[in-house]
Amino acid sequence: DAMVIQNPRYQVTQFGKPVTLSCSQTLNHNVMYWYQQKSSQAPKLLFHYYDKDFNNEADTPDNFQSRRPNTSFCFLDIRSPGLGDAAMYLCATSRRLAGGGDTQYFGPGTRLTVL
Amino acid sequence: AQKVTQAQTEISVVEKEDVTLDCVYETRDTTYYLFWYKQPPSGELVFLIRRNSFDEQNEISGRYSWNFQKSTSSFNFTITASQVVDSAVYFCALSGGGNQFYFGTGTSLTVIP
């Protein structure tokens, strides 16, 4: 089945220790998104890639970076995780950008704990 | 401004009861899209339905049904004969002329056996 895969499902890191979260997709979608979701809140968009074009949300901290080496993979790098970065990180894909009305399909998420 | 309001933060029902989750949206776009997602405790956001602004037909899928009313800017979701497996957080979302998905704050549904 075509799907969005995230690894690892659970990640524990130490305060200030860089961490990378991984997302891959077999849907061959053009757009890949990273969301941060804290407890009892809606997902918050961090950034997205349309093909190789990177789009950062205005309020995304510089501590968060992303890479998309090819269509299938996208990575979220947190350079110096703080306690406030503990959250669920969700990857999503869509064929076109949200303005085109395309559905976003989500992966299972990576739950990040910062000690 | 684009906005989605889910006024019900938490709902509890007894199994087999019907339950309606409310979603009210705001947008200035004439073309827009509405979505419902289910987020079970495992965390994955599961797509349930997509509806565009030109299609006001109600939809039924098994025990799920959706009522889209442009006159009241609402896109409500009803689960008939609820089951324990329906326990989850449900998000309504809106996309329009921009490139953002606007999520509501979610409604946490607990179905009690």
Q: What are the tens digits of pLDDT across the range A52-91?
A: 999 999 899 999 999 999 999 999 999 999 999 999 999 9
What phi, psi does B88 have (nearest 5°)?
180, 175
SS3 A98: helix
Token pair of A22 as six digits: 């991984």
Work out the end-to-end distance of chain A between its first and last CA atoms, rounded to an integer number of angstroms.
36
Instruction: Note whether A34 and A48 are within 8 A (CB).
Output: yes
pLDDT of amino acid B56: 85
- What's the rounded Cα separation, in Å, for the pair A76 and A109? 12
Digit-coded pLDDT (tens) for A25-38: 999 999 999 999 99
Q: Between vectors from CA A68 to CA A67 and to CA A69, what angle results, nearest 5°?
A: 110
Statement: residue A15 has pLDDT above 90: yes
Type of residue numbered A43: P
| Average of per-residue pLDDT values in chain A | 93
CB contact under 8 A, A111 and B43: yes
Statement: residue A1 has pLDDT above 70: no
How many CB atoms are located within 10 Å of the residue A42 CB?
20
CB contact under 8 A, B44 and A92: no
Statement: residue A9 has pLDDT above 70: yes
- With pLDDT > 90 as the criterion, what percentage of chain B qualifies? 81
B41 touches chain A (CB under 8 A): no
Statement: residue A100 has pLDDT above 80: no
Could you tell me which of A90, A99, A24 has the C-alpha nearest to residue B27? Answer: A99
| Average of per-residue pLDDT values in chain B | 94
Contact list in A for residue B52 (CB cut-off 8 A) is 101
CB contact under 8 A, B95 and A101: yes
What confidence tier does B1 reach under pLDDT thresholds 50, 70, 90? Answer: confident
B43 touches chain A (CB under 8 A): yes
